[in-house]
Amino acid sequence: MRLITSLDELNPVINRMRALKKPLTLGFTGVPPEPILREAIAVSSKVVDLDMPAGHDISVAETIIPKISCATLRTIASNALLYKDLDWIILSAGYDKCDGGRFLGMQLQKVLSIPVLLTENRSLERRGNPICESGLPLLEKMERIVNGLISDTLSGDIKKTDPAFGFWGVPPNDFSVLELFPDNTHIFGWARCMENRTPSDTELEELVDPAIPTIFFAQAFCPKNILAYRLASQYNGLYVEVDSRVDHSIKAKIEAFLWIHGKKL
Amino acid sequence: MDSRKEIVTMAKQIKPQIIIDSGTSYSKVYHLSSRAYEVIPSNRIKELTADYSVAAATGHNANRLSGYVVNELIALAKGAESYIKDEDTYTVVDCGSRDIKYISVSQGVATMDWNAECGAFCGQIVELLQRHFQCNPNSIQPADRPLSLTCGILGMTRMFDLIADDCDPDYAFARFMKGLADNVHAFAKKPDVLYISGGLCDNPLFLRSFDSVQVIPLGRFVLVDGLRMMIGENDSQ
């Protein structure tokens, strides 16, 4: 398996894609190295974040990965198999993602007839996290962080607020869970690393504000559950594990935690 | 408001009122006029609501029953207050058919958790196993060691394996119940005294399967009584 981490390694593929002389659709996952993603976006007319649910039948993923893979991996797999106009894919597959991302990438290289490039982002240069600490609704914060990889989402009125709650974790597969939280909820965990463009930054990923009640979220079947579980125990927070859909019990559990810590229901 | 809606509204107003903790398998009901409690299977809830107006509801089915819906854990917390009056530190765990939730209060500071996915469905599986193997929880002795239960479904699979290995079904069931008791105690952070709410309060084998903890069953109506407190109908407690 070869991980592409520099523009020099990317350029031969870029040249091949340009030679196709057609509008290109790029699919990507995770937070690829900034120069690589920027260059790939520059030669593509359409960019699709394969981590995000797109209304495809997620069970299609089971043709290439087990049912007990996390919802994010199943979403990537089903998107990659069902987006018919994809011309090439840049897939995070190193220390910045997970073993599952790497094995899925290797699998997609075998089953797809388009170039699937595996990358790794080890950058530790934090760019700051104004969205994570803003007073925007939590759902909008997360959308801006995710969309910020391909467009500028820092415009508008982004003011830092004092936090009432913390949300730790990755962008959830089901964003509706984020609607339960008050606006002055700060984001921690890998989503914070995402805004900083440092997806391998484990020190930042473990950062928590011990003064605020925090919900530690992880997708079911993801190894990040180990970290979420430990941090929730350490900081007396609430550990929440969710598969693809946030059901009634999970929402009620989060509501109760917020209520105990002072949010009016 | 059109005339039909008015008639429906008036009919609702003259119907006798109830409050409900409507769980996945059973609904716990309190009749406000007669002050009587009852338990009915949740699949019969429509028959009840045809004759009664629901003043307040909690539980999985609450949203379709009443305009006043209270989160289950909040109802549990309020209900526990009405049962445990003289203690400022306590843990109460509600063992439902689908999930397990607890609230722990220590000198005014509350912590909670709600086991909704892995580890869940134990209550429902207990009922299923009792029926299938015709186990009598009143006469079966607690097991000396637990069956490791990740969740009700996987626990049932392990119990079937034990029986396939020629283990007596009653003993296999006792090990399942001890595994469940150990899980509940660990989930609630292993307090010395554990108050229990929910249908498993009526299961003697479950209550006797705990080790190193004083278990105090509060019965099936803790959440309903929490609702009563929240609507100001708590004078008879």
Task: Report the distance separating Cα A68 and Cα A123, nearest Å.
Answer: 30
A10 shares its domain with A108: yes
- Cβ of A256 and B60 within 8 Å? no
- Given the DSSP bridges, would you call strands B89-95 and B100-106 parallel, antiparallel or unpaired? antiparallel
Residue A92 pairs in a beta bridge with A119
Length, in residues, of chain B: 237
A100 shares its domain with A54: yes
Structure tokens at A68: 């007990």
A143 shares its domain with A253: yes
Domain boundary among A62, A85, A119: A119
Structure tokens at A124: 């530790």
pLDDT of residue A156: 78
- Cβ of B113 and A252 within 8 Å? no
What residues of chain B lie within 8 A of the CB of A217, using their CB? none
Domain boundary among A60, A92, A119: A119
pLDDT of residue B37: 96
B77 shares its domain with B181: yes
Considering only the beta carbons, identify the residue of A249, A259, A265 that sits closest to B114. A249
pLDDT of residue B120: 59
Q: Which residues are within 8 A (CB) of A263 and not within 5 positions of it... i.e. 6 or more apart?
A: A164, A165, A182
- Dump pLDDT digits (tens) for A151-192: 888 887 789 999 999 999 999 999 999 999 999 999 999 999
H/E stretch holding A219: strand A214-219
Distance between terminal CA atoms of chain B? 39
- Dump pLDDT digits (tens) for A182-229: 999 999 999 999 999 999 999 999 999 999 999 999 999 999 999 999
Q: Which residues are within 8 A (CB) of A144 and not within 5 positions of it... i.e. 6 or more apart?
A: A131, A136, A153, A154
Domain boundary among A88, A119, A150: A119
Helix (H, G, I), strand (E, B) or coil at A160: strand
- Scanning every residue of chain B, which has its alpha carbon at the shortest distance from the alpha carbon of A260? B110
Q: What is the largest CA-CA distance in chain B?
A: 68
Q: What is the CATH number of the domain that holds B94?
A: 3.30.420.40
Domain boundary among B45, B69, B93: B69
Buried residues in A202-221 as b, exposed as e (16+ CB within 10 A)? eebbeebeeebbbbbbbbbb
Q: What is the CATH number of the domain that holds A235?
A: 3.40.50
B95 shares its domain with B157: yes
pLDDT of residue B9: 61
- Scanning every residue of chain A, which has its alpha carbon at the shortest distance from the alpha carbon of B70? A265
Task: Report the distance separating Cα A1 and Cα B176, nearest Å.
Answer: 46
Q: Which residue has the higher pLDDT, B224 or B155?
A: B224
Residue A257 DSSP one-character state:
H
pLDDT of residue B25: 87
On whether residue B123 sits in a domain, the answer given is yes
Task: Report the distance separating Cα B130 and Cα B144, nearest Å.
Answer: 19
B23 shares its domain with B82: no
A210 shares its domain with A102: no
- Dump pLDDT digits (tens) for A15-72: 999 999 999 999 999 999 999 999 999 999 999 999 999 998 999 999 999 999 999 9
- Scanning every residue of chain B, which has its alpha carbon at the shortest distance from the alpha carbon of A247? B116
Domain boundary among B27, B44, B69: B69
- Cβ of B99 and A238 within 8 Å? no
- Give chain A's domain count: 2
- Dump pLDDT digits (tens) for A79-137: 999 999 999 999 999 999 999 999 999 999 999 999 999 999 999 999 999 999 999 99
- Cβ of A243 and B110 within 8 Å? no
- For B194-215, what is the mean pLDDT? 95
Cβ atoms A91, A118 nearer than 8 A: yes
Torsional sign, CA A45, A50, A55, A56: positive
Shortest distance, CA A185 to any CA of chain B (angstroms): 19
A155 touching B (Cβ < 8 Å): no
Is it the case that residue A234 has pLDDT exceeding 70?
A: yes
- List residues in chain B touching A: CB distance below 8 A: 60, 71-74, 77, 98-99, 101, 103, 110-114, 116-118, 120
- For B8-35, what is the mean pLDDT? 84
A176 shares its domain with A92: no
On whether residue B236 sits in a domain, the answer given is no
Binning pLDDT at 50, 70 and 90, where does residue B237 land? very low
pLDDT of residue B10: 59
On whether residue A131 sits in a domain, the answer given is no
- Give chain B's domain count: 2
pLDDT of residue A133: 97
**Percent of all residues in chain A with a pLDDT value above 70, rounded to a whole number:** 99
A16 shares its domain with A114: yes
Torsional sign, CA B79, B84, B86, B90: negative
B142 shares its domain with B115: yes
- Dump pLDDT digits (tens) for B72-103: 999 999 999 999 988 989 999 999 888 889 99
State CA B48 to chain mean position distance: 20
Torsional sign, CA A11, A12, A13, A19: positive
Range of the structural domain that residue B8 is part of: 3-69
Mean pLDDT of chain B: 88
Three-state SS letters, B157-187: HHHHHHHHCCCCHHHHHHHHHHHHHHHHHHH
pLDDT of residue B21: 95
Task: Report the distance separating Cα A111 and Cα A81, nearest Å.
Answer: 9
- Cβ of A249 and B98 within 8 Å? yes
Shortest distance, CA B171 to any CA of chain A (angstroms): 32
- Cβ of A265 and B71 within 8 Å? yes
Task: Report the distance separating Cα A137 and Cα A181, nearest Å.
Answer: 8
Q: Which residue has the higher pLDDT, B13 or A67?
A: A67
pLDDT of residue A264: 66
Shortest distance, CA A131 to any CA of chain B (angstroms): 29
Is it the case that residue B68 has pLDDT exceeding 50?
A: yes
- Given the DSSP bridges, would you call strands A165-168 and B26-31 parallel, antiparallel or unpaired? unpaired
Q: Which of B60, B63, B71 to mutate to test the interface with A (most CBs of A within 10 A)?
A: B71
A197 shares its domain with A246: yes
Segment among A136-140, B137-141, B152-156, B206-210 with least mean pLDDT? B152-156
What residues of chain A lie within 8 A of the CB of B74, using their CB? 256, 259, 265
Is it the case that residue B13 has pLDDT exceeding 80?
A: no
- Given the DSSP bridges, would you call strands A46-49 and A25-28 parallel, antiparallel or unpaired? parallel
Q: What is the CATH number of the domain that holds A58?
A: 3.40.50.11890
Structure tokens at A195: 């805004």
Buried residues in A68-86 as b, exposed as e (16+ CB within 10 A)? ebbbbbbbbbbbbbeeeeb
A101 shares its domain with A26: yes
- Dump pLDDT digits (tens) for B143-174: 999 998 877 788 888 899 999 999 999 999 99
Domain boundary among B26, B43, B69: B69
Range of the structural domain that residue A85 is part of: 3-119
On whether residue A216 sits in a domain, the answer given is yes
